[in-house]
Amino acid sequence: MLARDAHTCEHFGMRRAFTKFVAAGMLACIAGAASAGERESFLAGEAASCATCDLAGADLSGRELKRAKLDNANLKGAILVAASLFRATLTRANLSGAKLAGANLNLVDAKWADLSGADLSSALLYEADLSGANLAGANLQIARLGRARLNQADLQRTILTGADLTGARLAGAKLAGATMRAVKLNGQNLRDMDLRGIDFAAADMVEADLTGVDLRGADLTGVDLFGATLHGADLRGAKFDGARLTNAILSDTKRDGASFDGALMPSGWEKE
């Protein structure tokens, strides 16, 4: 009797497990169909959001995508030239190699997004949140990044020529190998950052805080450093030829091998 009851219970348990398995499969199919439908609606312009969708290589150039929810979406290699993504959410989205030249990304939330190798030239990124984002090798030439959050972002080998970074937050950002010629960094807080070997030629860094920065081997030819603070900075081997350092603070700096030919220096400054 007990054996029969045990067999009955076991059989019932197996049926219940099978029912659960079938139900889970059906739910997965429904979810997949809904996701595919959402993708098609998005591509057709009928829906503005498509979180987690696979949009790799999609041509969305010029699209109006204000406030779109594209979190975790795959937009690898997508074409978003001149698209409007104002206030869109792109957290953890894959935008590697995407074309976003001239796109409006003002106030976008792209924390931890992958934008490596993306073309963001002339893009608008005012107050964009790019905290922890991967922008390695991206093209941000002439981009507008005023007050953008770039904390802990990977900006290695990024092209930032002519970009406006006024008021941007760069704490913990990686800038190794970045090109920052003619970049706007007026009043920027760059304290204790590793800026070795970076090309800052012709940049605007008026009253920037460069306390304790490592500028070894950096090129600051023609840079405007009026009123900047470089206290305790490592300037060894750096090039300041033709730079404006009027009213700048250069106390306790290391300057072995640094070049200041034709530079406008602070009052009373003497080359060591």
For residue 215, is pLDDT > 60? yes
* pLDDT tens-digit map of 76-133: 999 999 999 999 999 999 999 999 999 999 999 999 999 999 999 999 999 999 999 9
Confidence of residue 37 (pLDDT cuts 50, 70, 90): confident
DSSP of 234-268: B-TT-B-TT-B-TT-B-TT-B-TT-B-TT-BPPTT
* pLDDT recorded at residue 45: 87
Radius of gyration over every alpha carbon of the chain, rounded to an integer in angstroms = 26
Confidence of residue 263 (pLDDT cuts 50, 70, 90): very high
* pLDDT recorded at residue 99: 98
* pLDDT tens-digit map of 149-197: 999 999 999 999 999 999 999 999 999 999 999 999 999 999 999 999 9
Mean residue pLDDT of the chain comes to 90
Task: Please report, as a single letter, which amino acid is at residue 9.
Answer: C
CA-CA distance, 131 to 113, in Å (whole number)? Answer: 9
Give the residue from 40, 49, 75, 41 showing the smallest Cα distance to 61: 75
